[in-house]
Structures are given as structure tokens and as C-alpha cells.
Amino acid sequence: MPNGAVAIFGLGAMGRGMATSLMQAGLVTHGFDINADAVAKFRDSGGAAGTIAEVAATLDAVVIVVVNAAQTRAVLFGEDGIADKLAPGTVVIACATVAPDVAQDLAQQCEERGLHYLDAPVSGGTLRAGDGTLSVLASGSAAAFTKARPALDAMASQVFELGAEIGAGSSMKAINQMLVGIQIAAMGEALTFGMTQGVKPEMFFDVIRQCAGTSWALESRAPHVIAGDYTPLSTIDIWLKDLGIVLDIAKDAKFGAPLTAAALQQYLAASGSGLGHEDDAAVAKVYARNAGLTLPGAQA
């Protein structure tokens, strides 16, 4: 697909960067979002125009990076859904984090229409989305991988091929989310614990990032707390979804996951107190509130 056409659905925190990567690789990239501002920004940055009806039959690949299963279903099979408009043989690259059984159901419905389906959740955050260096945790048929390859190579520096079984990609993503979800909450817990010991957040970050206690989550999110800037790169509410998926499939496996359950409670408390649309670093606010601490940028 040297000059193949791709459509990306979802131009939010991840999708806008992924769209940029597709364009920078020279792929004709159409972008769609229910948020008109997001579409306008995409078009201003060089994204191709055209309605879904006009472009659908020209596409080699469709990348879907909306929030959840319901939104992915709406893009594919909802009113004005794209699945019935695509040419047979088009590949659907499904990147939203969903449960493995949801991926299997979506794949089956696509395959009934002659479409290829790649179960392809992503990892790496918004920065790596924007520079085309995501990790993609993918499973699907060889034909799906072949058709998706130009788009995958544009968006990712690592494409993990996890086999032909749909759901394997989503299972691996759930494992990653277990770790990242716990570690972001742990960052909030440790940073605020440090404050009770007289350690300012900046000092916490300078020291701990160079010690064994560091993590990608700490290095990515502690700066947001220090700056008092909770502009969402990934929201608190994403964790209600993702750790919910983890705990659902753990329950099916009769696997106890107490750390995941504890982390989810902290995100639930954050969301319940109105922070659901803030950056997930705002989980630190739950700890601060409970301990009577004032985080940077907050009113004492």
C-alpha cells in the first residue's frame, strides 16, 4: 500500500497523534470524529477531506481508536456504520482497549462481511502516538497483518504479532493495563506519602526517578502533579474501563487481583468526586484529600 488510503476514527488524545504518523508516512489519511473541532484541526494539519460514504470503498485500512467497545461498535455497525460500506478485503485495525471477547465478537461480524480484522490495542501514550513509535499488541490472520502493515509501520516502532487468535492482543493489553493502572495509583500514593515526610513533589521526582522505585507511570505522570496541570492525556475514567476489563477477565479465570482492585477503588473515588475527565495523575488528589495535603496548583 505505498500510497494506500487509510481512515482513522477517533481523533482524541491518541488518535490525533496516530493520524499525524499515518500522514507523515505518506498514506492518504481521512479522519473522522463526532467532535467537529477535532476534525477541523485534523483537516488544518493536512488530513484528507471526504465523507465516509465518499471514501469508504477506496480504503485499504480503517484504524479505530475511540474510547471503548460501545463506540467501536457504533463506528462499525451503528447508524451510518462503516462496515457495510467498505470493500471486501479492507482491514479493520481495532485499537481501542476492549475485552478479548468483545474483540472476538467484532471480528466475527467483520469477517462475515468479508473484512479482515486485527485485534490491535496500543501502548506508549500520546507522545509515542505522535511520533509513530507506539507498541501495537496485535493478533489476527496473516492476511490481516499483510494488509495492515503500512499503517502499522507508520504508527508503531514495535508491532508484536501475538498469533492468529483474535483476543490475544486484547489479553496482552489487559496485562499491560493492570501494571500501568497500579503504577499510576502507586505514583500518587508515594508522592503524597513523601509529602507527609516533608519531601516536596519536585524532590520526590528528582530522587525516585533515579532509584529502583521508578516506573514509566511515575516518570510520565508525576510531572503533571508537580505542574498542577491535569489536562487529560489519558483520563481517570479510562481506568474505570480498563481495570474493569482486567478484573472481569480475572474473575472469569478465578484469579484474585487485589492490587488491581485497590487501584480501581482510588480511580472510582477520583471519578466520583468529579475528576473523571481530568488526567489520570489526578488520582493523587484522592490521597491528598484524605491526608489533608495541598498539591501544587491547589488552593490551601
Catalytic center residues: 173
> In a 3-state reduction of DSSP, which class is residue 114?
coil
The Cα-based distances of 78 to 71, 72, 237 in angstroms read 9, 9, 23
Query: Which three three-digit cell numbers place residue 267?
Result: 480511580
Nearer to ligand NAI (CB atom), residue 121 or residue 150: 121
13 binds ligand NAI (CB under 6 A): yes
Q: How many residues of this chain interact with ligand LASSHYVV, rule: CB under 6 A?
A: 8
Q: Which of 20, 90, 97, 192 binds ligand NAI (CB under 6 A)?
A: 97
* Nearest-angstrom CA–CA distance, 42 and 32: 9
10 binds ligand NAI (CB under 6 A): yes
Q: Which of 4, 31, 100, 125 binds ligand NAI (CB under 6 A)?
A: 125
12 binds ligand NAI (CB under 6 A): yes
- Least spacing, CB of residue 158 vs ligand LASSHYVV, in Å: 12
234 binds ligand NAI (CB under 6 A): yes
* Nearest-angstrom CA–CA distance, 192 and 98: 32
Candidates 47-55, 70-78, 144-152, 208-216: pick the segment binding ligand NAI (CB under 6 A).
70-78
Query: Which three three-digit cell numbers place residue 8?
Result: 482513522
Q: Which of 5, 6, 7, 11 binds ligand NAI (CB under 6 A)?
A: 11
- Residues 110-139 vs ligand LASSHYVV: string with x where CB under 6 A? -------------xxx--------------
Contact partner at residue 185 from ligand NAI, ligand LASSHYVV, none, CB < 5 to 8 Å by partner kind: none
Strand 5-9, strand 61-64: pairing = parallel
Q: Region of 134 please: left (phi>0), alpha (psi -120 to 50) or beta.
A: beta
9 forms beta bridges with 32, 64
- Least spacing, CB of residue 233 vs ligand NAI, in Å: 6
Length of the chain: 300
Nearer to ligand LASSHYVV (CB atom), residue 30 or residue 128: 128
Q: Which of 8, 91, 238, 282 binds ligand LASSHYVV (CB under 6 A)?
A: 238
Considering all CA atoms of the chain, what is the largest pairwise distance in Å, rounded to the nearest integer? 63
Q: Which of 4, 15, 47, 132 binds ligand NAI (CB under 6 A)?
A: 15
92 binds ligand LASSHYVV (CB under 6 A): no
* Nearest-angstrom CA–CA distance, 180 and 293: 25
Closest by Cα among 111, 172, 112, 173 to 143? 111
CA atoms within 13 A on the CB side of 52: 17
Nearer to ligand LASSHYVV (CB atom), residue 71 or residue 90: 71
Query: Which three three-digit cell numbers place residue 141?
Result: 490472520
Q: Which of 24, 109, 176, 214 binds ligand LASSHYVV (CB under 6 A)?
A: 176
The Cα-based distances of 166 to 108, 120, 171, 176, 241 in angstroms read 9, 9, 10, 17, 20
**Binding footprint of ligand LASSHYVV on the chain (CB under 6 A):** 123-125, 176-177, 180, 234, 238
